[in-house]
Amino acid sequence: MLQSFIKPHKRTHCMNNTIYSILLSLFFIATGICQTPDRATLHGTLVDAENGQPIPDVLVRADTEKLASVHPNREFEHATATTADGAFSLAIPNDPRTYYAFSLMALHPQYQAKRLRYEMSPGKSKYPLGKIALRRTLSLHGKVSGPKNVAGLVVNLRMHTKSADFFRAAAPIENAAKTDTTGNFHFTDLYPIEYTLTISQDGVIIAYMVSINPQKQTQIAVRLPKMKTLRGTVVDAQAQPIAGAQVYATRYAEIPHGHSARLATVQTNEAGNFQMQMLETEPRLLSLEISKQGYFSRIYEHVDIGKMPSMIPLEKGITIKGRVVLPRGLPSDAQFTVKVFPADGRMEPNLNPLALHKPLLSRSFPVTASAFSINGLFAEKYTLYVGGDGISATGIDVNAAANTEALFIIADQPVTTLQGQVLWADTEEPVPNAVVSRSWYPWELHPSDMSMTLDRFEVETDARGEFKFSNLTAARYQLYIRAVHAVFEGTPKRYQRRLIHKQVAIPVAGTTYRIYLGKQDGTSFAK
């Protein structure tokens, strides 16, 4: 299965060059957009860090950072390319009342990407950046040897997670190649960072190296290690065999920023038996997971292959079925979602991204059917919430152990909006680009939600300082508002940015609120 998705590295390299050529051609469009007054000009030369020679056809992208924005711009919408002598000239907006800095990114297929940041000065319209040196990307040569056939093996490099932001933004997270008839493989366009290396055959990992750094290792030799065989039988509570159960063997990373790897996957036969070949691994780094739909998964940690039980039991889950009454007028292709929570779970709203009372399960169903079925539950008490786009969240308590009939849930209440306007307390002027976060309820979350995925509960105010959250269940909410206020100190060359923040309790949605920000709400911070 793995081989159908991975092509030889040489072909991948050609594809990267094609994508780069497309990106390079886009700068003509970008430079056409930038023909407006109040411009600053950036000019410089891109050179090779080793020999000082100019580099033509480098894609140079830049963007400005706004005074009134909490986060710097990362779109890099202004672009050009270096000429034959490595030179570039690029125009960006230059209004000192709006912008205070710019970032520049240099990209080329054979060189490591580089990102620079510069402060902008009021009244200055030309920024000579001089020579900007780029280092070439790195290569890695390797050879695989061992008792197996070493031709056509898939070699994969995966970047460690501790890499710098601009490396991760510019470099492919994963690289793949295949061995030739003598076991040789070759990678190009790598960065001076650490990678995890795996070698697989027919979807089974047969070699694993914790860390490879192409800056320190230009050539490596891999001797294929021993493989071990694990056998077993998966049964239910009555010791009857379970066919079609999936068995996964996983090797954990042994260093903080490394990567785990799924060593092998097999499926049980009609007699519930399985047999899998796996890479010899220390028990502390090996886990085994057995799962099948309708049953509770079983996970073994710190697996010693020679000491695994021959019989592996799985417990069958309980299924809850029901029907719902939904609001009229929903699109025919819409879905409703049923989310399952513990019966004693708190349903209070929260602004803290770390305090996530997430559902145990979440399943979506078409509104045209109105019926649902949730399986894989223990014989316990739960709270179920029905919701979705245009559907106000409705909860019901259920005892899975005693639930013998289909549930009937009426969830036809209309949704509402929460909207308002943010104003400065001293001038009553609107506050544009303020970040307004609202609290969320557990029924709005998904089991996989993390703090980084909660930006859907956040909007920015428009030019009139107005904001709006739609598709809400009628309930109370809290708002957390953050705005950047640029305070000029008498001269256009001196100003202070202040982060103004305020938390507001909203008793009920459906009303437009006017919210004032003042100095008493703010704390200063450095640029």
148 and 89: one domain?
A: no
| Within-domain flag for 27 | no
Whether residue 8 lies inside any domain: the answer is yes
pLDDT-based confidence at residue 24 (cuts at 50, 70, 90): low
324 and 309 inside one domain: no
Mean pLDDT of the chain: 86
Assess whether 145 and 201 both reside in one domain. Answer: yes
Q: Does residue 433 share a domain with residue 520?
A: yes
Please check whether residues 247 and 216 belong to one and the same domain.
no
Question: How much is the average pLDDT of 498-502?
Answer: 81
- pLDDT tens-digit readout, 9-20: 444 444 455 555
Q: What percent of the chain has pLDDT over 70?
A: 86
pLDDT band at 390 (very low <50, low <70, confident <90, very high): very high
pLDDT of residue 427: 82
**Structure token pair of residue 89:** 């000239």
Question: Residue 439: which domain range?
Answer: 416-524
Whether residue 17 lies inside any domain: the answer is no
Query: How confident is the model at residue 77, as a pLDDT?
Result: 82
Sequence-distant (≥ 6) Cβ neighbours of residue 394 within 8 angstroms? 385, 386, 387, 409, 410, 411, 413
Select from 88, 116, 134 the last residue of a domain. Answer: 134
Same domain, 327 and 266: no
* Contact residues for 472 (Cβ-Cβ < 8 A; gap 6+): 415, 416, 417, 418, 509
CA separation for the pair 52, 211 (Å, rounded): 32
Domain boundary among the residues 134, 169, 204 is at: 134
- Which CATH number do you get for residue 89? 2.60.40.10
Domain-located, residue 85: yes
Residue 152 pLDDT > 70: yes
For residue 508, being part of any structural domain is answered with yes
Residue 239 and residue 278 in contact, taking contact as beta carbons nearer than 8 Å:
no
**165 has pLDDT over 80:** no
How many separate domains does the chain show?
Answer: 5
Dihedral pair phi/psi, residue 96, rounded to 5°: -65, -15
Residue 511 is predicted with a pLDDT of: 79
CATH number at residue 262: 2.60.40.1120
Q: Is 501 helix (H, G, I), strand (E, B) or coil?
A: strand
Judged by average pLDDT, the poorest of 69-73, 249-253, 377-381, 503-507 is 69-73
Considering the domain boundaries, does residue 23 fall inside one?
Answer: no
Share of the chain above pLDDT 90, in %: 61
Quick one: 8 and 143 in the same domain? Answer: yes
**With contact defined as beta carbons under 8 Å apart, do 373 and 320 qualify?**
yes
Assess whether 273 and 208 both reside in one domain: no
Spatial neighbors of 491 by CB under 8 A, at least 6 apart, are none
Final residue before a domain boundary, out of 188, 223, 258: 223
Query: How far is CA 261 from each of CA 150, 210, 511, rounded to the nearest angstrom?
Result: 21, 10, 51
Residues 206-257: tens digit of each pLDDT:
999 999 999 999 999 999 998 999 999 999 989 999 999 999 999 999 898 8
Residue 110 shares a structural domain with residue 56: yes
Is residue 449 situated within a structural domain?
Answer: yes
Residue 469 shares a structural domain with residue 381: no
Q: Using the CB atoms, write b or e for 365-377: b if 16+ within 10 Å.
A: bebeeeebebebb
